[in-house]
Amino acid sequence: MNQDIVNKVITTLKEKNLDAFVVASPENFAYLAGFVVPSHHVLRWRHSMLILTADARVFAFTVDMEESTVRRNLPDISLRCWREFADNPMQLLADYLLEIGLKNASIGIELDYLPAGDFKRLEHYLPNVSFTCSASNFNQMRCLKTPAEIALLRQLSRIADQSIYEAYQSVAPGSTEMDIAGALTRKIYEQGAQDFKFMIVATGDRSQLPNVGPSLRKLESGDICRVEIFPIINGYHAGVCRTASVGKPTSKASEIWSVLSNATKELLELIKPGVAVNEIYKSYLKMVEPLNMPPIDFVGHGIGLHLHEDPYLAQDDQTLIQEGMVFGIEPLIYKTGYGFGMQNKDMILVTKEGSELLSDYTDTTSLINIS
């Protein structure tokens, strides 16, 4: 268990006058436990949960298929298992909550994750329990990273950055997007990633499409290429995107890239504790205004156990930046009007006095060259 995070959660329980949290989502399970239950995020009905009480007791609840994994990783935590094809998991969960003294409790539970049918059954079995949605509580807690989380996100940032750069260096005109993807996935595993959540490989006119995977399209001279990946360790993600040119870029491509690259540098100077996130976005709009091209509605977001977390560097978010936040910042223009899109996404840590670039392997002053 991540004891510093457990302590933070227990403090939140007391502040919210709750008796317990039932942690149901894969992200928040990993947040507390420090590991991922392998099938949790792909089979939604295979419930694995943690129960934390305000008096600092911790309990685990998991499907029989994952019992050995959970026991190995949480050997000192009381564990209740349910049989996937024989038991009603909500009935067993309700019985478990009653056994640990939560008959008349106020419980926070992730209503944004737990299926509605399961929640209705749980309510039925626990008529005297008051349930509230805990999503915002966990979103707020996860905004500020612990030293261990920061170290992991630093490692992931460099894995993503270096892997993209080396994948680009492994291809040439005539290679396919699949060749890039093959090299990229191989590189992230070589550097220690356990998995990846999302990968974008978009070249030529496909670089205008926000979220597309690799195809059999062949690289041609003059292509602009966008590649992004989110490698994973223990449930945590880093998101890095790099843009390359096949051969010498056009003058217009170089001009647009110069604006986006400079915007990254300026954002690093502006992002610091005490600044409202919407002020960062307003400044970004001025940076890209000379392009007269449509920007997206944010220029960055928190990141960690989700690809996108709070807060967003966006127009309507007035959250104040704090030391310990980690952002993915991404100056980008999908619709340049010239048949290509460009994106420069980096991972940054908010420090006491400013911000630190975590994805620091590639110099993005100029477009990466594929030759």
DSSP category for residue 353: S
Cα dihedral 21, 22, 26, 28 in deg (nearest 10): 0
Which residue, chain included where needed, has tokens 């990993």? 30
Compute the CA torsion angle 246, 247, 252, 258 (nearest 10 deg): 80
Domain that holds residue 88: 3-142
What pLDDT score does 2 carry?
A: 86
Class of residue 87 by CB neighbours under 10 A (exposed 0-12, middle 13-18, buried 19+): middle
Is a pLDDT exceeding 90 seen at residue 320?
yes
Crossing angle between the packed helical segments 3-15 and 26-33, to the nearest 10 degrees: 120
Q: What is the pLDDT of residues 22-45, one digit of tens each?
A: 999 999 999 999 999 999 988 888
Q: Looking at the structure, do residues 77 and 38 belong to the same domain, yes or no?
A: yes
The fraction of the chain above a pLDDT of 70, given in percent, is 100
Backbone angles phi, psi at 270, to 5 degrees: -85, -30
Which of residues 124, 142, 160 is at a domain's end?
142
Per residue in 114-168, pLDDT (tens digit) is 999 999 999 999 999 999 999 999 999 999 999 999 999 999 999 999 999 999 9
State how far the alpha carbon of 40 is from the alpha carbons of 26, 51, 164, 210, in Å.
Answer: 6, 16, 28, 27
* Tens digit of each residue's pLDDT (9 = 90 or more) over 231-287: 999 999 999 999 999 999 999 999 999 999 999 999 999 999 999 999 999 999 999
91, 120, 142 - which closes a domain? 142
Interval 171-197: pLDDT, tens:
999 999 999 999 999 999 999 999 998
- The residue out of 121, 142, 163 marking a domain boundary is 142
Average pLDDT of every residue of the chain: 96
Q: How many alpha carbons lie under 13 Å from residue 284 in its C-beta half-sphere? A: 28
pLDDT exceeds cutoff 90 at 330? yes
Residues 187 and 66 placed together within one structural domain of the fold: no
Q: How many domains does the chain have?
A: 2
C-alpha radius of gyration, the chain, whole number: 23
Same domain for 253 and 170? yes
| Residue among 69, 80, 277, 246 at smallest CA distance from 173 | 246
- Same domain membership, residue 286 and residue 159: yes
324 pLDDT more than 90: yes
Same domain as 284, residue 192: yes
